[in-house]
Amino acid sequence: MEALEPIHQTLSEIDKRIPDTLPADYGLEKRASRSSEDAIASVFPLYLEPPHRKRDDGSASQRDGEEPQALRMNWASCYVPRHDEDAHFGLHEAGVVGVADGVGGYRKHDVDASAFSRELMRSAFQQVLAIEPGTPVCPYTLLERACEETVASGADGGSTAVILSLAGTALRWAFIGDSAFAVFRDGKVVHRSQRQQKRFNCPFHLSATGKGDCVSKADVGQMAVRHGDVVVLGTDGLFDNMFDAELEVIVRMATALGVSPKNMANVVAGMAYEMSMSKIKDSPYSTDSRRLQGGQHLGGKPDDITVVVAFIVSLYS
């Protein structure tokens, strides 16, 4: 669990070490009217450890037409709590990661909204630990069994969730609700999950009560990935506050600086937090609110923010 103040205090001088040309390289020069990209350029350095320039080590991204490489997932996370109802897990060896977001609406019924999400991720983690090493993991089966165990445990509340697994070159997923993920290739989104919701700000979710949804409603699928791809998954605290184009800027800049998955997760979570506290900046949450409910809502949505960043890399790199 990270807090924003220590990140600011520890890393506030890092901006002096970032090459002056980097913002300009990505079209982020200061303009009279600050766009979201300008904001990213100015705040971005605060969340970075000292950068190291990337060297050509012969492990450049796989190109079209090349033989597929054996791959692994190098991941890290950052969690910025508000209500402290998010949960996540991951196992490097198994190539599996997941996030869950306790549905805050249960709070008004004096229910611990974190109970279901935490038990769901704990169960998923334990099940992956018990799998024979090298066995491919089916995210849907994992989500289904974790949900069954969570319901049986008596955990209150409900939760959205997304689980990803990597086997060979196939990235597989199962998700329900508005916890989401995006796959980036050469700094551009090539796949983005679409949120499931009954109406605005009312996502599908798993629960032991009759108010929840069946696991069978989960969205499942897979795609081929390759060395150099970046996967970002998170709860709605991330995706309600950052547009895909803003995430693309961060992924491109962080990749150019050669930062680690942990550093990139810090940057993404830090930027999402900054934007969640804005009263004037447009956000996915505010634009959806105006589109679906009318009114003049502006600004972000303060919430728990969980970010997992996974680099897809050669198995032997």
Q: Where are the beta strands (DSSP E) in 129-258?
A: 158-167, 170-176, 180-185, 188-192, 197-199, 202-203, 206-207, 219-224, 230-234
Structure tokens given for 109: 């019924």
15 inside domain? yes
Classify residue 58: in a domain, yes or no: no
Query: Considering its fold, how many domains does the chain have in total?
Result: 1
Q: How far apart are CA 232 and CA 73, in angstroms?
A: 12
pLDDT band at residue 40 under the 50/70/90 scheme = low
Please check whether residue 241 is in contact with residue 35, taking contact to mean a CB–CB distance below 8 angstroms. Answer: no
Give percent of the chain with pLDDT exceeding 70. Answer: 79
Nearest to 155 by CA among 108, 103, 81, 83: 103
Cβ neighbour number for residue 294 with a 10 Å cutoff = 8
Asked whether residue 307 is domain-assigned, the answer is yes
Q: Report if residue 90 sits inside a domain.
A: yes
Q: Is the pLDDT of residue 55 over 90?
A: no
Residue length, the chain? Answer: 317
| Section 65-78 average pLDDT | 85
Range from 85-89, 184-188, 194-198, 308-312 carrying the lowest mean pLDDT: 194-198
pLDDT at 36: 54
Helix (H) and strand (E) counts in the chain: 9, 13
Q: What is the CATH number of the domain that holds 284?
A: 3.60.40.10
Asked whether residue 60 is assigned to any structural domain, the reply reads no
Residue 59 within a domain: no
For 258, the domain range is 4-51+68-314
pLDDT digits (tens, 9 = 90+) for 110-161: 889 999 999 999 999 999 999 998 899 999 999 999 999 999 999 999 999 9
In a domain, 302, yes or no: yes
Residue ranges of E strands in 125-281: 158-167, 170-176, 180-185, 188-192, 197-199, 202-203, 206-207, 219-224, 230-234
Above 90 in pLDDT, residue 50?
no
Is 61 within a domain? no
pLDDT classification of 42: cutoffs 50, 70, 90: low
Average pLDDT over residues 238-250: 97
- Distance in angstroms (rounded) separating the CA atoms of residues 119 and 149: 8
| Per-residue pLDDT reduced to its tens digit, 191-220 | 999 999 988 888 999 998 877 899 999 999
